[in-house]
Amino acid sequence: AQTVTQSQPEMSVQEAETVTLSCTYDTSENNYYLFWYKQPPSRQMILVIRQEAYKQQNATENRFSVNFQKAAKSFSLKISDSQLGDTAMYFCALPHNAGNMLTFGGGTRLMVKP
Amino acid sequence: EAQVTQNPRYLITVTGKKLTVTCSQNMNHEYMSWYRQDPGLGLRQIYYSMNVEVTDKGDVPEGYKVSRKEKRNFPLILESPSPNQTSLYFCASSFGTESPLHFGNGTRLTVT
């Protein structure tokens, strides 16, 4: 069975600083995708970034980047120049091959402080 | 506008009273699924559907039913709700396993 673990239930960061959210996973698949989703207080689920496991290059989307270590099964999210609007729950997720369901981690609540 | 529409946004009910949460997508996605979100547990899959008339259980299907009679709609049915089904529910859809999920805005369900 697949598992996704986020070991930091809560984190805080000062505005404009950098923060890294960790995620580890276990899967028997060789080719797969990994996702980070953001859930602000509005409770919408918003895709932050996607990583393809067969690509060695780490994905980047503006201030968001990942550190993907396939052998270690680690997929951390780095947020640079943190903004107040980054305050949210962040979920790491790994797809099942069947039915395109996702296995989610327990989430990390990030607070950006002014 | 491409979206997943989920209703109602909030629902309070009593134990045993059947309810349905509706979900509709306008993106012609094959895949649709339901999740429940509970503190510390993230989101867990309830049911999913790979196409019309094709549904299967997720990780926590007990106490839930679904149907997929049309491609765009995927309602979640609780025949006899119980307090342990109090949760935040999300419907989601996508084209396939490589595609990100598009989520509805969630339904906060309280069963007393």
Which residue of B43, B88, B94 is in closest CB contact with A100?
B94
Inter-chain CB proximity B44 and A98 less than 8 Å: no
Point out the least confidently predicted range of A16-20, B28-32, B72-76, B88-92: B28-32
Residue B104's nearest CA partner among B38, B20, B36 is: B36
Kindly state the percentage of chain A with pLDDT values over 90. 77
Point out the least confidently predicted range of A15-24, A52-61, B74-83: A52-61
Q: Are B43 and B32 contacting, i.e. CB atoms less than 8 angstroms apart?
A: no
State how far the alpha carbon of B29 is from the alpha carbons of A101, B4, B36, B44, B110, in Å. Answer: 14, 10, 21, 21, 29
pLDDT at residue number A1: 73
Kindly state the percentage of chain A with pLDDT values over 70. 96
Distance from CA of B97 to the nearest CA of A (A): 5
Q: How confident is the model at residue B83 (pLDDT cuts 50, 70, 90)?
A: very high
Inter-chain CB proximity B105 and A105 less than 8 Å: no
Model confidence pLDDT, tens digit, residues B89-98: 999 999 876 7
Q: How confident is the model at residue A99 (pLDDT cuts 50, 70, 90)?
A: low
Q: How confident is the model at residue B85 (pLDDT cuts 50, 70, 90)?
A: very high
- Residue A100: pLDDT above 70? no
